[in-house]
Structure 1
């Protein structure tokens, strides 16, 4: 039996890279995707470390055709596509009256529309093999709102709605679709935000983490990458056929309030 193939968008850094490494460790072949200049090197190093097949694409997530070609390239390279993890995302924070239209449009395009285009492109392959696992990386902001994040909150809520529809349409074809909704994860992106917030609030970095970032969480810890990767691995299993249309909050209790 061929190795299972996972396409993970935004997988050359942060959450996506953490998930990709965990899947590779479990024997999945991985199509990496991202904007990093060294994306190809990252893919090769993972292939060597875990003895799996990998490839890399820097497809533009703003363009439907590029996303369709990414899925096509994955299938042509590996001979199939079993797991699609829609992880690519961007963020911008601003009061609504100052929110630039182009920032809004790009966040909606990359965080939400790209998940639609990739899932649509993968659908016929998943149907033909009677197996598919679509995992959308939403956010706790797909369940709750925060100020100054109009586009991000709208996109992440939209992804959860999309997840439910795809779960219903995929049910008769062994295609499941679920959303993972992380709280704060200590990625390079978040580490940069900590430094910026410390300057803006005239606080220490420790105070920013406690009083700004994790203020709404019951558990005052960043969500471990491994927890997100473990959840994704569970959802990707053959035995997870009846787990579909659901959003899993990995948020330290943030959304329990």
Structure 2
């Protein structure tokens, strides 16, 4: 993480990011902190969340760690209550936590289906619902869902993930309509393939399922429709997340932005 700078786009804002102990979520938390926010690191493992918070603080930022299984209603409520008790409010929610299971639809276990939807979609709903009373009371809130190109498009082997990511767009549109009178905006950022541990895990899995080499999975599956053959970077995703999170009004609400090196064009 870079040293904290004079940029203060989020000065004194409380920005909660789920799944923030690693990958995209960690970088989002670092970027919020670098621009003045208190980055609330919500993750399944408290020790990992605390480690990320400690890294941010060591660089001069402000951070706070909470344990949160986004698929567990009671735990989500408890974590949000803890944050509000500590800071008085939550200004920004970034719903980022997610997993991936790669299998053909014909072989996709119902348990795996429910697990993905519980984390990707139920988690977005539960964290949003828990934050909204506080945002409504404050008359301010910015909610950003980390979707995917798979919020717009489909790929083989990803039935549950594609379904869940499509659902985030619908959730954001409803919240945009309901939240506008309270100055609460909701949007979705849709990255292409970002080389996080989640994607690294998929490469050998897809190679096995599709009967091809890992190099061919990257070249002919993951990046074949990009304009430059490049993975999306975590900072490219963060640029758009922070854009939506910093919006001065609800003019940008109910929208979705694709960050995919041209893989999907609107």
Q: TM-score range by the shorter chain?
A: over 0.9
Q: Distance in 2 between matches of 1:101 and 1:199?
A: 21
Q: CA deviation at 1:95?
A: 1.4
Which is further off, 80-89 or 28-37? 28-37
Q: CA deviation at 1:77?
A: 1.9
Q: Distance in 2 between matches of 1:62 and 1:106?
A: 9
SS in 1 for 2:187: strand
Q: Could you say which residue in structure 2 is the equivalent of 1:51?
A: 61
SS in 1 for 2:248: helix
Q: CA deviation at 1:198?
A: 5.4
The counterpart of 1:105, out of the listed 102, 111, 114, is 114
CA contact (8 A) 1:31 1:55 kept: yes
Q: Could you say which residue in structure 2 is the equivalent of 1:131?
A: 140
CA contact (8 A) 1:27 1:50 kept: no
Q: Could you say which residue in structure 2 is the equivalent of 1:140?
A: 149
Q: TM-score, normalised by structure 2?
A: 0.89
Q: CA deviation at 1:97?
A: 2.0
Q: Distance in 1 between matches of 2:256 and 2:11?
A: 30
- Structure 1 residues 153 and 198, CA gap change in structure 2 (3 angstroms): closer
Correspondence 1:38 to 2:45: no
CA contact (8 A) 1:74 1:80 kept: yes
Which is further off, 184-193 or 19-28? 184-193
Task: Describe how 1:88-237 pairs up with structure 2 within 5 A.
Answer: 88-197=97-206, 201-203=211-213, 205-237=214-246
Which is further off, 229-238 or 18-27? 229-238
Q: CA deviation at 1:256?
A: 2.4
CA contact (8 A) 2:11 2:35 kept: no
Unmatched 5+ stretches in structure 1: none
Q: Could you say which residue in structure 1 is the equivalent of 2:248?
A: 239
Q: List structure 1 segments (4+ residues) > 6 angstroms apart after TM superposition.
A: none
CA contact (8 A) 2:17 2:42 kept: yes
SS in 2 for 1:148: coil
Q: CA deviation at 1:216?
A: 2.4
CA contact (8 A) 1:132 1:175 kept: yes
Q: CA deviation at 1:10?
A: 0.3
Map Cα deviations across residues 77-117 of structure 1 (whole Å, 9 max, x no partner): 22210000000011111112211111101111110011111
CA contact (8 A) 2:98 2:120 kept: yes
Q: CA deviation at 1:62?
A: 2.1
Q: Distance in 2 between matches of 1:75 and 1:238?
A: 22
Which is further off, 8-17 or 66-75? 66-75
Unmatched 5+ stretches in structure 2: 1-9
